[in-house]
Structure 1
Amino acid sequence: MIIHKDLGDKPFARSRVLLLKIKSGKIVLGGNKNLKIYGRIDCTTGKRMKVENRVFFENETEAINSGYRPCAVCMRKEYLLWKNQR
């Protein structure tokens, strides 16, 4: 898990490092550390969260092992599977 604030001191530096990690495949999913929800990087609800709450994952297994659940908006099928297993 990568914490967004740890990618740099200033917003420009963070966004530059983030873009490089996304392009290289080291970041595939984003999440909210307070709500324990993960989803796609381009999720409309995920884009609105505060930088302080944002974390990133290399894959879905990493997110699940960290105790996160799928986003009901951008990962509807995965969310419904998770919900039915509870």
Structure 2
Amino acid sequence: MMPGLERDEAPSVIRHSEISDQRLWRLLRTQKIRFAGNRKLKIYGTLSCTSGRRMKRENRVFFRSESEAVAAGYRACKRCMKHPEALPSDLS
């Protein structure tokens, strides 16, 4: 099993509590991590989301893409991931 992964999570999920800060920054700089999620709530969002900044390190996981987050069973954050096609037609 790769460091930073739980047995029941997809291989693309990287747990923040199990990687070094240096490795995290390297993955961010190279854009190999583009989304963050809360593994207890099963919600993912952008790295700059204010909700994501408040979560505990042990609950934070990272994804390379939105499709990886969805495949791992996470739903989009309603604060930072508002897609226009998801809005009712009278509000868009």
TM superposition score normalised by structure 2: 0.75
1:45 Cα offset (Å): 0.7
Instruction: Give the match for residue 16 of structure 2.
Output: 4
The counterpart of 1:56, out of the listed 62, 71, 82, is 62
Asked if residue 72 in structure 1 is aligned to residue 74 in structure 2, the reply is: no
Q: Which has the higher helix share?
A: 1
Specify every segment of 5 or more residues in structure 1 that has no aligned partner in the other structure, as ranges.
9-13, 82-86
Report the more deviating stretch, 61-70 or 19-28. 19-28
Specify every segment of 5 or more residues in structure 2 that has no aligned partner in the other structure, as ranges.
1-12, 87-92
Structure of greater Rg? 2
1:5 maps to amino acid = S
TM superposition score normalised by structure 1: 0.80
User: How large is the Cα RMSD of the aligned pairs?
Assistant: 1.4
1:60 Cα offset (Å): 0.6
Q: Percent identity?
A: 45
